[in-house]
């Protein structure tokens, strides 16, 4: 398989195998008007297998979403065909409007203009809780 290099854009690398599509959905990459490549189950010396997402546009992306899906991922910023920045990602302490609370009694279920905010309560198990009702999301 041959996927061309990009001139200006973003490469999300070292995504845990099988998590690339979830990341694609949560980042809303389907709405972009540029080339986006999702490469699944790529052999890796470091991880055995990994997913990679290449975005052929210099766009703003939500690093918190990447950290939520896979805190071990890396983001490479490409400009003029050269790597200008490599960023390691970690799990964010707070997620705003990334997840929706599943509790039907939560205030976010009946108030439309309120942000869906989750805080990281257990870093080892990647457990987030709604700040309004404490419902667990992982």
Verdict on whether the full-model pTM lies above 0.75: yes
CA distances from 100 to 15, 48, 135 (A): 23, 32, 11
Q: Which CATH class is domain 94-137?
A: mainly beta
pLDDT tens per residue, range 113-138:
999 999 999 999 999 999 999 999 87
Per-residue model confidence (pLDDT) at position 112: 85
Q: What SS3 state is found at 66? A: helix
135 and 116 Cβ atoms separated by less than 8 Å: no
pLDDT band at 46 (very low <50, low <70, confident <90, very high): confident
- The pLDDT confidence band at residue 1, using thresholds 50, 70 and 90, is low
- The domain locations on the chain are 9-88, 94-137
* Local confidence band at 45 (pLDDT 50, 70, 90 cut-offs): confident
Token pair for 131: 């700040």
Tell me which CATH code domain 9-88 carries.
3.30.70.140
Cβ atoms of 117 and 101 closer than 8 Å = no
């Amino acid at each position: 398989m041959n996927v061309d290099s990009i001139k200006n854009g973003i490469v999300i690398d070292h995504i845990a195998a099988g998590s690339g599509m979830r990341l694609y959905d949560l980042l809303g990459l389907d709405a972009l008007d540029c080339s986006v490549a999702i490469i699944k189950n790529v052999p890796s010396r470091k991880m055995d297998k990994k997913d990679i997402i290449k975005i052929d546009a210099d766009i703003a992306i939500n690093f918190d979403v990447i950290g939520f899906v896979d805190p071990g991922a890396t983001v490479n910023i490409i400009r003029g065909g050269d790597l200008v920045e490599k960023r390691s990602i970690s799990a964010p302490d707070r997620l705003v409007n990334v997840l929706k609370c599943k509790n039907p009694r939560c205030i976010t279920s009946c108030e439309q203009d309120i942000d869906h905010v989750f805080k990281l309560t257990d870093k080892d198990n990647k457990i987030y809780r709604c700040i309004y009702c404490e419902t667990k999301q992982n």
